[in-house]
Amino acid sequence: MRAMRVLRLVVHAPSRQPVLVLGEVDGDRCVPVFLRGPQAQVISLGARDEEVQPPLTQDVIVPIVEGLGRRIEGVEITELSGGTFSADIVFDAGTRVAARPSDALSIAVRDSLPIGMAEDILDDVGQSIAELFPDGGDAPPEEQIKEFREFIDDVTPDDFKD
């Protein structure tokens, strides 16, 4: 499992779907993960800051888990099959719960949890960060949010039909 970090939240132009680009913490590869709209909106807000924002649905997960005496250690993108990712939320004591990648990633971003990705996914579909983002992979958060909000302002439900 490779440690990953959020590089950018972008919009895939042909499909108009939100995409979270994850990059290796110690490496040069990145992988785009298509998201569901509501989770992309949550991710666009970044890490939880209750002083600035009201709590979101994803924000209650970690306190509930901790209230039950457990801890979420992170999330992992575990498999890519037929163009669809699988993910797990990883708890203490080795407990794992399968989750949609969008949901797992939104929880990880909001609570600043580690994100992991299976090495074979990176080997199969990883792209060079330098090739994908010649000007650098880390756009300022303000720019990412601006781009995503412009997308959200213009999107309609028909844009997501197959």
Q: pLDDT for 33-69, tens place per residue?
A: 988 878 888 778 777 776 667 777 778 888 899 999 9
The answer to whether residue 127 scores a pLDDT higher than 80 is yes
The angle, 0 to 180 degrees and rounded to 10, between the axes of the packed helices 101-110 and 37-45 is 10
Rounded CA-CA distance 10/108 in Å is 18
Per cent of the chain over pLDDT 70 is: 78
Q: How far is 105 from 115, CA to CA, in rounded Å?
A: 8
The domain segmentation of the chain, as residue ranges, is: 2-160
Q: Is 102 exposed, middle or buried (0-12, 13-18, 19+ CB in 10 A)?
A: buried
What CATH topology corresponds to 2-160?
Answer: Bifunctional nuclease domain (3.10.690)
DSSP 3-state of 55: coil
Q: How confident is the model at residue 159 (pLDDT cuts 50, 70, 90)?
A: very low
Q: Model confidence over 91-104: pLDDT tens digits?
A: 998 899 999 999 99
- CA angle at 134 for the pair 86 and 19, rounded to the nearest 5°: 30
pLDDT averaged over the chain? 82
Q: Order the strands of the 127-128 sheet from edge to edge.
A: 96-99, 84-91, 72-81, 115-117, 2-12, 17-24, 29-34, 127-128
